[in-house]
Every structure is written in C-alpha cells, then in structure tokens.
Chains A and B, each alone.
Chain A
Amino acid sequence: MKWLLTILILVVYVLHQDYWFWGNRSLVLGFMPVGLAYHAAYAVLVSVMMAILVKFAWPKHLEDTESEFPDSGEVGTHA
C-alpha cells in the first residue's frame, strides 16, 4: 500500500506539469481558458488524493499521544 500511495503522489505531481496545454488559448464552456480549467480540476484531484491518504496512511498512532510536560500554571482569567 505504501508504494501505491507513493506512486499516486508522484503521478499527481507529474500531472501538475501540463506541458500539453502550454500554448493552448481555447476556452472551455465558452469563457474559461483551458489552462485555467485544467488546474482548477487539478486542485480537485489533489483533494481526492488527500482523502485517499487520510483513509489509507493516517498516522493513527499519533492520536493517542499523552502529555509528558507539567501544566504551565493558570494564573487566573480576565473574565
């Protein structure tokens, strides 16, 4: 699984370098430059990638971290 996730991250990184749209001036839906539309969709793709990472690579063991330092001491409130 670790390797699959690593490959996923690398693939998404490579997709950021969209040389194929570099000089393309066409419009998507009649108003959105294609290069801009691609990168907007890319942001959604990254969000999906992060959801996959949270699902399969979440550092769950850190959730139960216990405090080992003394309380800094409350001096009172301003309420």
Chain B
Amino acid sequence: MYGKGLRALSLATFAALTATFALVFFYAPLDADQGFIQKIFYVHVPVSIVTLCAYVVGAAFAALHLKTRDRKWDLRSYVVIHIALIFNIVGLLTGSIWAKASWGHWWVWDEPTLVSFLIVFLLFATYQPLRFSIEDPERQSRYASVFAIMAGAFVPLNFAAVRAASPFVHPRVFATSEGGLPGSMAFVFVCAIVAIGLLFALLVAYEIAAKQTRWKLRALRRRALGGEAVAPLGRSAAPSLGAPERPSAGTPPRAPRNPAEAAS
C-alpha cells in the first residue's frame, strides 16, 4: 500500500539520469576555457538549484502542517529538508572541486553563491538537532515547522545579503537570458535539472515509503506479539506517524506520546 508508483518513478529517474550523463559526456561541447572540468557544471548547478527549491518546498510543507495540523505534512517537510541537506553537501563539494579546478582554490570567499550555500547549510544543519532536543512529538513537529518556515524565508534574504557583500562577482557561466550558454549546452543543462529533480523526488518518495512501512510493521508486530514484545522507541528527530486507530473514549485525539501507540 505504500510507495505507490515508486517503480515507475525509479525507472523514469534511471532513464533520465542515464540520458543526461550520456548527453553530458558525448553531446555537450567542451567548454573553450575550462575544458573537461566544466562538465561538473551539469551536476553542481542542478543540484544547487534543486536544493534551494527543496528548502522552499520544505517551508511550504511546514506552513501546510501548521495550517492543517496534519502530521503527514510534517513528515514530508522533514524528509524534504533531510534530502535537501544531503544535496546541499553534494552541491558544496562539487562547487569546491569546481572552484579548485577553475580558480585554483578549494574555497573562494568572493563567490557569493558558494558562501550563501555554506550559510544556508549551517542553518539547516540545526534542523535535526532542534527536533532531537524536543521530546513531545506534537511540540517537536510544531516547533520544527516554525523553524522550517523561518529558515525558508531566510534563504532568499541570505542570498541577497551575501551577493551584495561580494566586492566583485564572478561571471556567471550562463547569463540571465541564456546569453552565455550555447543552445546545445542549455539543452543538456535543462535535461540535467529534470534528471536531478527526479532523483530528488525519488529519494523523498523512497524515504517516506520506508518510514511509513516501518511504522506499519511496528504496529503489526505490536498487534501480533503484544505491546511488550516490541521495544519502545527512543527519542528521535524523525516525526512519528499517524493518529491512533482506537482513540480511547473520552480523551480528545491528540498527538501520541509514543509513536508505537499511534500505529497500534
């Protein structure tokens, strides 16, 4: 019941990534200045763009969670931010490699985008410690949503500030109106964005399906073996799922303290 459409999404992602890498290596022209190393552009820039979009999407999911009080939005927000953090690290690493290859230094402070990504990473890296330090699951998800909204609004502000602080800005590989990018490169770049976006969506879908399956399995084991047979869960940064199936009469339905009870 979980992970509907995962197979189709997996195949689409696999096909898109394969096609994109084939295009990158065999179709896209070599950059006149930078040569082969410029091809990292087709990984670094799409990953970075997807990361930023994901942070904003995570903030939007968090806002939906606060609005609807539906825990599924908290789960989605959590997973999107989680995967976006991983993409963020990939973007930082590839950016660093590219900087070393084209400018000769592993880190350049006058590249505002790279610096902004570091700051955004440092902020979002506190998301999981924050969640982990709140025990009550209901409050954890509420506070995490507030944090995600703040951080989502912080992202564009931070980019503006860091960019304004750079003494000079490196020439963009592709100018605003595609001016600097020949048509064949632009085509491959768009393919790469689609492929990396699909990869992101796939990882999010897998993670959500895995979490749901794990909770379901726990619930089934509790029902089959009895509550004592299943070890209670420790503290977790991850959101717990679901409303109780048998809400005890008289008490208002509220977020379960123990996720295992939630699913049983």
**Chains A and B form a bound pair:** no
B residues in contact (CB < 8 Å) with A: none
